[in-house]
Structure 1
Amino acid sequence: MIIGMGSDLCNIERIQNSLDRFGERFVNRVFTEVEKAKAAARPYTMAGTLAKRFAAKEAYSKAVGTGFKAGVFMKDIGVVNARSGAPTLALTGGAAARLAAITPEGHEAVVHLTLTDDHPWAQAFVVIEARPLNASPIAEKRDA
């Protein structure tokens, strides 16, 4: 079952302006070490890389229904890549606590994330799924 959805559209030029104006202070306040390393490896598209991650943080905060309050902070939401290369979220602190709070008992939360950009826009969609802990994949297909 779907327990949360969120989306965000971020202007890449706005992120570039923040980089130009605030530099490392902005980057260190908003992004995780993994996100900073990914952006540093892409010097020609750094603003776009960070804008997609900024949009993902915003989309997640909408999906859990809090925005950036109730203990959910930007640095608690980090975009990482699964082994397949697909983007997903690594959650800590208040962001992880909020996800646990909205996950129904007997279920596990699965966060789905998609990112895209086409200058000057970056976009992210987050869907949070609650899967029953005791359901087998075969039973789910049979019941469909």
Structure 2
Amino acid sequence: MTTLRTGTDLAAVEDVTAGITAHGERYLSRVFTERERADTGDAPERLAARFAGKEAVLKLLRPMPTDAVPLTDVAIVLDASGAPVVTLSGRAAALADAIGCASIAVSLAHERGLAIATAVALTDR
């Protein structure tokens, strides 16, 4: 049976800025992939949108509370046309495989200090 799964998240740009200010490179490398950072130019509003996208994808994947899924296992990168696409690795890819999820679509937006993302996927389970 095919199932539609969704996830949505809202992130404050000021929280991302605070993380960068307090922890610098350590925060950036723990949360974002090199590709995400290149795509965004480390702009806080764009990073906040990626953060919201990662959280939306994780809500869609529904890991168990005991599952540790590094945020860098979910990457929101730009394709050749500039549209955001989800790439999974590690534990996130294993979760997607376990539910029969071949791809995840994501939509991102940011305005007035907030970023929002919605992720959608069809799964076999």
Q: TM-score, normalised by structure 1?
A: 0.78
Task: Name the larger-Rg structure.
Answer: 1
Q: Which runs of 5+ in 1 are unaligned?
A: 132-144
Aligned to 2:80: 83
Q: Which runs of 5+ in 2 are unaligned?
A: none
Partner Cα distance (2:12, 2:65) in 1: 19
Task: Give the 3 Å change call, closer, same or farther, for CA 126–91 of structure 1 in structure 2.
Answer: same
Matched-pair identity in %: 34
How much is the aligned-residue C-alpha RMSD, in angstroms?
1.9
Partner Cα distance (1:115, 1:69) in 2: 28
Partner Cα distance (1:127, 1:26) in 2: 27
Q: Give the CA deviation at 1:130.
A: 3.6
Q: After TM superposition, where is structure 1 displaced by more than 3 Å over at least 4 residues in a row?
A: none
Partner Cα distance (2:65, 2:85) in 1: 19
Aligned to 2:21: 20
Partner Cα distance (1:36, 1:110) in 2: 22
Q: Give the CA deviation at 1:68.
A: 7.3
Tell whether the 8 Å contact from 1:71 to 1:95 is kept in structure 2 after alignment: no
Aligned to 1:51: 48
Partner Cα distance (2:65, 2:58) in 1: 6
Aligned to 1:97: 94
Deviation string 1:76-106 (CA, Å, 9 cap, x unpaired) is: 0011122332111111000000000011xxx
Task: Give the 3 Å change call, closer, same or farther, for CA 90–69 of structure 1 in structure 2.
Answer: farther
Q: TM-score, normalised by structure 2?
A: 0.89
